[in-house]
Structure 1
Amino acid sequence: MQQNDICYVLNASNTCPKPDFIPESHFLRVPVNDSFCEKILPWLDKSVDFIAKASNGHVLVHCLAGISRSATIAIAYIMKRMDMSLDEAYRFVKEKRPTISPNFNFLGQLLDFEKKIKNQSGQPGHISKRKLLHLEKSTLGIKPFLWFH
Structure 2
Amino acid sequence: MTGTPAPVPGLPVPVRDVSVRVLKNIGGCGPYAYVVARFEPPDPRDGPPGPDGLELLNAVPERHLPTEFLPALRSGLVAGLDGVAATVLLTDGGFHEVDSSEPGFRLAGRCAGRAALIGAGLLPPHEAASLPWTTWPGRPWLGPKRRAGRKVRGTGRPGAGGP
Higher strand share: 2
Q: Given the two structures, how large is their TM-score scaled by the length of structure 1? A: 0.27
Higher helix share: 1
Q: Given the two structures, how large is their TM-score scaled by the length of structure 2? A: 0.25
